[in-house]
A and B are shown apart, each in its own frame.
Chain A
């Protein structure tokens, strides 16, 4: 198969020159990232107190609501232009629900998502349509997220059927081929079907589909979890290159702490529907101050033989409580070795407690759990 790094560069330049700059829809600018590396740009996406509760019902004909699953329960996030925010957490913590809320596939129960200062929940018609173009998503499962009956060309170009101002009708085939080339696929494969591709290649198709609408933000929901290690690295590198080239902002959702650290500028750690700690990758990984972050990091197996046995391992007891009936006060207190009476009464706010970055723990205290590789 084609090698992604080789023939990307030439196509990329032609891609950005052929970008139509339609009024009202800012075309992604190449050099945006250059400035973004130093100081982060203005905030694009602001999530405030986001909640999503799913009703639990009983009965077949007459459904009664007997409770709520608090999948997302008070999430604050900020995504600035050109940056990557990593959202990590274990299964069931609500991270995928956050991604669905952000791309407006679900409506929040409470809280707001502000995009460029405007509340997404109050958008309608044209504004919502523009928002959906500018905020795209890449899904985890490259097998389930591509329609098996559509050709790759049709999949990538499908967005233009709705947003027909993005690509002029005439040059669409050529643009599709440029996009395929840019993500490292052979442009001659436009007429093939998803089943003819491997997992990594399918994920590239998903990326091309997201890029086709010239988005500002891409929500990446576990984009590499289903891929083999060697292919995973290819996709991570591709995402980084595209970010530099088009000045994209990523919300990168994953459970793999190593991948998140690698790609993210800032990291938020989620537990049972809310964020427990947030900071730069260095702050969160080198001096975690929330007990859950510490436990999570200490469980990650290290790859270097000389670091084996050097970290102090925190083994958590028990399982994650049900989000339908979360513990009072601090959600983590049932498994926390620091828990005291105050933890059951008062939910700790996500604020800086003298660690230099916000942590939602009454007894936040920095502790190094991952040994530093001195090599």
Chain B
């Protein structure tokens, strides 16, 4: 039997100094016939109650895979968690029995996905699907679960919830479907909500509504929020901290204000200058050259070096800091900021101490 206490108030846990979630040196590989794809290569972060951590990265950077590992929904095989640990309220999830892991999903950690239409079951009404959480985890009757579903639909601001509870997913618009999925995710008052590209498929006016809803729900419940996205604007408007991922690694981490105003990793810097802004026409974009790496064949040394404008190769590199051979560790650059680059101080424009 599990000794996981999901009833203890989050504030109490925070007082004990235990973060809600700690991911330590997580590694995930996909062993396929054509080789080993290293999707996550040593990712560490922690999340406390009420905090919002954004994981920013492009497609193939390993941001979703790391979240799926936390949720325990990776398909194994082909995926293999080849190292590291995931601690939820001080217990390693990876060492738990399948039954204990299942108990955490829902009241402990829950997740919403990008594509609401393919994440919802088309042959059950939305009320049934939301109520399923209560029936499976709390043993409620169908009737009570349905009443709970209506309540939740109200909470995620679906108009006329009582009338729409028996409707099917295809009868809802994209934004409303996303709300249904959010309702399912928050049904059991999770400690942590992982939102994997929650607004990518939505129009910008709807995106704003959904992000507002998530923020309000977080304020009400004090849950920790992990926001996985590629959208710099969403990160800036919603998150406190940001971890930038590239080729399965975190390459920069800090508060959103710091990282976005003065990036210290060339990749973050490159991302910032590739994106046009709505507030000014701006000059020519400065894209990052080349293509993101193939995760089955990650470049040696710093994975970003083939595309980097700050790289130093061969004789021009400082000893032990040759970009194509020496792997840069994620290190503290200035207080509160970590970056995995040999020459972060240069990127930041700060003199090395």
Contacts and interface: CB of A to CB of B under 8 A. Distances in A.
| Candidate in B159, B176, B208, B292 with the most chain A CB atoms within 10 angstroms | B208
24 contacts: A1-B291, A90-B203, A229-B274, A230-B274, A230-B287, A231-B287, A232-B274, A236-B287, A255-B203, A258-B276, A261-B278, A262-B277, A297-B278, A299-B207, A300-B233, A301-B207, A301-B236, A302-B237, A303-B272, A303-B277, A305-B256, A306-B261, A308-B236, A308-B237
Given A233-B286, A261-B278, A302-B279, 10 more contacts: A1-B291, A198-B292, A229-B230, A230-B288, A233-B287, A300-B204, A302-B237, A308-B237, A313-B208, A319-B175
Given A5-B289, A201-B291, A305 B260 contact: yes
B141 interface: no
A149 to B, nearest CB: 22
Q: List 4 A-B pairs, minimum CB-CB distance, nearest first.
A: A301-B233, A233-B287, A262-B276, A233-B274
A234 interface: yes
B291 A198 contact: yes
Given A299-B204, A300-B204, A303-B233, A229 B289 contact: no
Nearest to A300: B278
Interface in A270-305: 281-282, 285, 295-305
Interface string B229-251: 01111101100000000000000
B350 interface: no
Contacts of B208: 298-299, 301, 313, 315
A220 B154 CA distance: 41
Nearest to B270: A230
B205 A91 contact: no
Given A257-B204, A303-B275, A373-B280, A228 B257 contact: no
Given A255-B203, A307-B279, A236 B285 contact: yes
Given A1-B291, A262-B282, A315 B261 contact: no
A295 B205 contact: yes
Nearest to B280: A373
Given A233-B285, A315-B212, A200 B237 contact: no
A304 B279 contact: yes
Contacts of B209: 315-316
A237 B285 contact: yes
Given A5-B289, A373-B280, A319 B173 contact: yes
B279 A372 contact: yes
A234 B272 contact: no
Contacts of A301: 207-208, 211, 231, 233-234, 236-237
Contacts of B271: 229-230
Contacts of B282: 262
A254 to B, nearest CB: 11
Contacts, number: 142
A120 interface: no
B278 A258 contact: yes
Interface residues of A, number: 52
Contacts of B290: 1, 3
Give the bracket for the number of chain B residues in contact with chain A.
35 or more
Contact of B236 (A1, A257, A305, A315): A305
Interface in B288-330: 288-292
B3 to A, nearest CB: 42
B58 interface: yes
B291 A200 contact: yes
B281 interface: yes
Nearest to A199: B59
Q: Tell me which of A4, A233, A297, A308 has the highest count of chain B C-beta atoms within 10 A of its own C-beta.
A: A233
A28 interface: no
Nearest to B209: A315
Contacts of A230: 58, 270-271, 274, 287-288, 292
B8 interface: no
A262 B287 CA distance: 14
| Residue with the greatest number of chain B CB neighbours at <10 A, chosen from A198, A301, A315 | A301
A156 interface: no
B284 interface: yes
Interface centre among B209, B232, B270, B281 (most CB of A within 10 A): B281
B205 A296 contact: yes
Contact of B276 (A5, A91, A236, A306): A236
A302 B208 CA distance: 12
Nearest to A235: B287
A114 interface: no
Given A230-B288, A233-B275, A236-B276, A303 B232 contact: yes
Nearest to A309: B237
B284 A257 contact: no
A299 B290 CA distance: 32
A371 interface: yes
Nearest to B176: A319
A228 B292 contact: yes
A228 B280 contact: no
B237 A240 contact: no
Given A90-B203, A230-B270, A230-B271, A261 B289 contact: no
A258 B204 CA distance: 11
A259 interface: yes
